[in-house]
Amino acid sequence: MTDAISNNAANAANALKAAARTAEATTKARVDAESVAEQAPAPAKIEPSTVELTPALKNALVEADFDAAKVQEIKTALEQGNYPLDNKKIAESFVPLEKLL
């Protein structure tokens, strides 16, 4: 028959050995990961690119006009809380956007 104290001491020793092996494996994995990171090539530098607009789009941008007075009127009304907003219409306009996702 084994002694309960001896048995507990043996279990504790085994647990310490297992913990030491785990710590050693963790340290080795960390060192391996660091050496891989050091050997990894530097990320490629991405050069900025240019976008060329089609003549039709350039013309559309030049010809695009808007009523600055109307825009200012709407901005002022929104700031003052006088612009009528239809919550139902706003919510319904999100449905097609949600379907795109």
| 23 within a domain of the structure (yes/no) | no
pLDDT at position 75: 92
Tokens of 86: 């239809």
Domain that holds residue 85: 65-100
Half-sphere exposure of 76 (CA within 13 A, CB side): 6
| 35 within a domain of the structure (yes/no) | no
Half-sphere exposure of 41 (CA within 13 A, CB side): 3
pLDDT at position 72: 93
| 86 within a domain of the structure (yes/no) | yes
pLDDT at position 80: 93
**pTM to 2 decimals?**
0.30
Residue type, 58: K
Digitized pLDDT (tens) for each residue of the chain, 101 residues in all: 455 455 555 665 666 566 666 666 666 666 565 665 566 566 777 787 888 889 988 888 888 787 889 989 999 999 998 988 889 999 998 888 888 87
pLDDT at position 11: 62
| 45 within a domain of the structure (yes/no) | no
Euclidean distance between the first and final Cα of the chain, in Å? 69
Domain count, the chain: 1
pLDDT at position 79: 92
